[in-house]
Amino acid sequence: MRPRPLYTLHPTPLAVLYSDLENHAAVTQEVLIGTPGSVTERENARGFRFYTRQFYDPSGKRRESYIGGPIGSEETEERAARVRAQVEETLRVAREVRLLGREGYQVADARTYATLASLHNHGVFRAGATLIGSHAFGALLNQLGARAAAYSTEDVDIARAEPLAFTEPPTASLLDMLKGSGVDFVEVPSFQPAQPSTRWKEAGRSRFHVDLLVPSPDERFEIIAIPELKAHAQSVPYLSYLLGETQPSLLIAREGCCQVRTPTAERFAIHKVLVSQLRGAGATKGARDLAQAAALLAVIAERTPGALAEAAARLPLSAGRQARAGFEALRAVLEEAHPRVWEELASL
């Protein structure tokens, strides 16, 4: 009996719907944080009437944000009309995302979406920051029109190869941007007290966190200042390869969608193979890296022949041994379920 394939393709109508959402996100500079909510009229004790947007934040708490006042002024009415239009458009997007989610598209959870949407609103991805890790895997699967095993993670990994090219230097720090999500982020102290933090987590016992990463010029792990974000990042070996080719991608969630930036699928897959070996034998994350790599490798090799060979040719020579070991670790999975894919990998 032939093993089950590692992926299936979504029907064409769903792929078209997803493409429409990509086009919508590409021209949307700012998205709503939290549920779409509604625009409401309010009045204070002095009789001043104003508009607010009432919604639920990522933790499920009811929130209210000020839109403007007094009601009836031209400026206030225009501002309220813009927010109403945003709410209506986001409700439409949310209906389409629900359909995609039911059919197996990867949908981000509320905290992840709010966090990345806040960074999107601050222009972080337009400036060149890149989403990596499992959430990038989900976005890439969706972009390829493929359905594979779902992933679960409380990590959000953001990387940058060069200083971010903001149109105007931001006044907010990365922590300020993260707090704009409605999630109560705090800095995680470094293991070495003298070193600055490179991780931010939700306050309390939550394990949800964000890591900021940059490429390392060698195999050392160091702390690097990121002045444009008023933050520090952890340097990681071979990250330059992953960030060598990036692209706009779409993140979808039940609350809406926004444009982010990810590596290309072929570089992401090969980098996953590589880091699975750097983590060491028996590492849980290493096994997850290989599983995600296998699914993407199968899709890419069967849908875009030659892309993997081109991406593999760009690997640093020093990574060759680990990459070959990683490919060999996938042999049992790919050789039976996707023999043509394994043949292409073996030829690399």
Three-state secondary structure of 84-127:
HHHHHHHHHHHHHHHHHHHCCCCCECHHHHHHHHHHHHCCCCCC
Q: Which residues contact 192 (CB under 8 A, 6 or more apart)?
A: none
Q: Give the residue from 64, 58, 62, 66 showing the smallest Cα distance to 183.
A: 58
pLDDT at 74 (0 to 100): 96
Q: Is the dihedral angle over the CA atoms 75, 167, 118, 94 positive or is it negative?
A: positive
pLDDT at 138 (0 to 100): 96
Geometric angle at alpha carbon 237, from 236 and 243, rounded to 5°: 80
Specify whether 125 is located in the same domain as 256.
yes
pLDDT at 194 (0 to 100): 80
Q: Which domain holds residue 313?
A: 264-348
Identify the three-state secondary structure at position 291: helix
Residue 187 in any domain: the answer is yes
Cα–Cα distance for residue pair 216/237, rounded to 1 Å: 5
Specify whether 193 is located in the same domain as 320.
no
Cα–Cα distance for residue pair 281/18, rounded to 1 Å: 38
Bridge partners (DSSP) listed for residue 248: 261
Cα–Cα distance for residue pair 255/158, rounded to 1 Å: 21
Specify whether 90 is located in the same domain as 123.
yes
pLDDT at 292 (0 to 100): 93
Q: Which residues contact 288 (CB under 8 A, 6 or more apart)?
A: 134, 151
Specify whether 255 is located in the same domain as 181.
yes
pLDDT at 320 (0 to 100): 84
Specify whether 165 is located in the same domain as 214.
yes
Residue 300 in any domain: the answer is yes
Residue 145 in any domain: the answer is yes
Amino acid at the residue 37: G
CA 176 from centroid of its chain's CA atoms: 19
Which is it for strands 130-132 and 155-159: parallel, antiparallel or unpaired?
antiparallel
pLDDT at 2 (0 to 100): 63
Specify whether 150 is located in the same domain as 248.
yes
Choosing from 199, 231, 262, the residue where a domain stops is 262
DSSP result, 194-235:
TSPP-EEEESSS---EEEEEEE-SSS---EEEEGGGTEEEEE
Residue 9 in any domain: the answer is no
The first and second tokens of residue 14, run together, are 């769903």
CA 327 from centroid of its chain's CA atoms: 25
The first and second tokens of residue 343, run together, are 């043949």
Residue 5 in any domain: the answer is no
Count CA atoms closer than 13 A to 52's CA, side-chain side.
Answer: 12
Specify whether 273 is located in the same domain as 230.
no
On whether the CB atoms of residues 262 and 306 are closer than 8 A, the answer is no
* This prediction's pTM: 0.94
Number of residues that make up the chain: 348
Choosing from 204, 235, 262, the residue where a domain stops is 262
Cα–Cα distance for residue pair 10/262, rounded to 1 Å: 21
Choosing from 243, 262, 281, the residue where a domain stops is 262
Residue 20 in any domain: the answer is yes
Specify whether 248 is located in the same domain as 269.
no
Specify whether 216 is located in the same domain as 346.
no
Number of neighbours of residue 79 by Cβ within 10 angstroms: 16
Specify whether 273 is located in the same domain as 225.
no
Stretches in the chain below the pLDDT threshold 50:
none
Specify whether 102 is located in the same domain as 183.
yes
pLDDT at 117 (0 to 100): 98
pLDDT at 279 (0 to 100): 65
Specify whether 152 is located in the same domain as 208.
yes
Count CA atoms closer than 13 A to 345's CA, side-chain side.
Answer: 31
Total number of domains in the chain:
2
Residue 285 in any domain: the answer is yes
On whether the CB atoms of residues 115 and 183 are closer than 8 A, the answer is yes
Cα–Cα distance for residue pair 277/315, rounded to 1 Å: 15
The first and second tokens of residue 258, run together, are 């926004």
Residue 309 in any domain: the answer is yes
